[in-house]
Structure 1
C-alpha cells in the first residue's frame, strides 16, 4: 500500500499584490514551516481514518521543503521521517507583470499555466519535472510490489498528482481518505490486494 499526503496549508499572506511582492511571497511560501495544523488535527481526531496510517510500520519519506517536512513531523516522529529531494514540488518562478495586482494564489495559478504551456521563466522544464515524478512513482510501485511494505509519501500537489496518475496507469486503485484545505491523504492499493 502507498499513501500520498499533500502538505497542510502554509500560513502566509495570500493578499492582493503586485508581481514584485508576489515574488517575495513565493520565497516566503517556499521557506515557511508555519502550516495550518488544524487541517492535520482534524485528520488525527478521526481515529478510524488515521489509525491505520499511523499504526503501520511504513517507510515515511518527505519532501525537504519546510511545509511538507513540518506536516510529516506533525504526523510522525521526526526520527522516522526520511527526506528525499526528489519529492519537491514542480519548480515555479514568478515574473513581475507591470500594472497587475491580484491575490497570491492567482499569481501562482497564472504562472503555473504559463509553465504548463512551455513558458518557463527560468524554471525547470515541465518534461524534466514530469520524468522525475514518474521515476519516483515507478520506484514506489516496484518497492510496493516486491516487499509488500507500506510507504507514506509527504509532498506537494502537482508532483503527487503525477505520481498518483502514474501509479493508477500501473493498475493501482486510488482513494481519497481525507481532505482539509491543502492537506490531503490518498491511499493506493494494487487491484489484487
Structure 2
C-alpha cells in the first residue's frame, strides 16, 4: 500500500512575542505540551492509503506532541495496533540562539535557531541523520503499510531516504504544523 509520514499537530502554547529567556521557556513548553490543535488533524489521506486489513507498522517519536497526534489519529481511525515509540524519530535537537533586546514570536525564535543548526551542525550531523532515517525506512519497507509520526525537520531526511529507495510522494495535506505525506513505491 503506502508509507505515510505525519508531522505532529501544533502544540498549544503561548505564541505571543517574547525575549530570549522566555523563548527558551516556550521551547520547553513546546516539547512538553499536553495539548495540540486537534482541529488541524485530518485522517482522510491516511484512511485512503493505509490497508487496515493488513499488518500496520505505527512508529512514533517520543515527544508529547507526536504521541498526542498519534492518539487522536488512532482514535479517529480506530487503530488498535499499539504504536512503537522510536527514539530515532525524536526531533533533531534545537537550542534557542541568544539574541538580546529583541521580542519576536516563538516560531521565529525556533526558525532562527534551526537556521543556526543548519549552518553550524548540518555538515557534521547529516550522515548520522541520513543513516538513522535509512534504518527507519528499511525497518518498514518490507511491509509497505506504515504510519510514521515525527517532526518537520526530520521529515526532510525521511523524504530523502524514501526517494533513494524508489518511493515517490503522490499526495500531501498540510494544516498548521500538521502534515501528512503519502509515499508509494514506484514500480
Give the structure-2-normalised TM-score: 0.86
Instruction: Say whether residues 1:50 and 2:47 are aligned partners.
Output: yes
- 1:8·1:36 contact (CA, 8 Å) conserved in 2? yes
User: Is 1:137 aligned to residue 138 of structure 2?
Assistant: no
Kept after mapping to 1: 8 A contact 2:58/2:81: no
How far residue 148 of structure 1 moved from its aligned partner, in angstroms, is 3.5
Residue number in structure 1 paired with 2:34: 33
* Aligned residues between the structures: 181
Query: Which residue, out of 99, 102, 108, partners 1:100?
Result: 102
RMSD between superposed Cα atoms in Å: 2.2
Residue ranges of structure 1 left out of the alignment (5+ in a row): 119-124
Maintained 8 Å contact 2:96/2:110: yes
| 1:10-55 CA-partner distances (Å, limit 9, x unpaired) | 1111111110100011100010121000111xx13x4x75344373
Which structure 2 residues correspond to residues 25-174 of structure 1 after superposition, within 5 A? 25-40=26-41, 43-44=42-43, 46=44, 50-53=47-50, 55=52, 57-76=55-74, 80-118=82-120, 125-127=121-123, 129-145=125-141, 147-174=142-169
User: Which ranges of structure 2 fall in alignment gaps of 5 or more residues?
Assistant: none
Once residues 82 and 64 of structure 2 are traced to their aligned partners in structure 1, the CA distance between those partners, rounded to angstroms, is 16
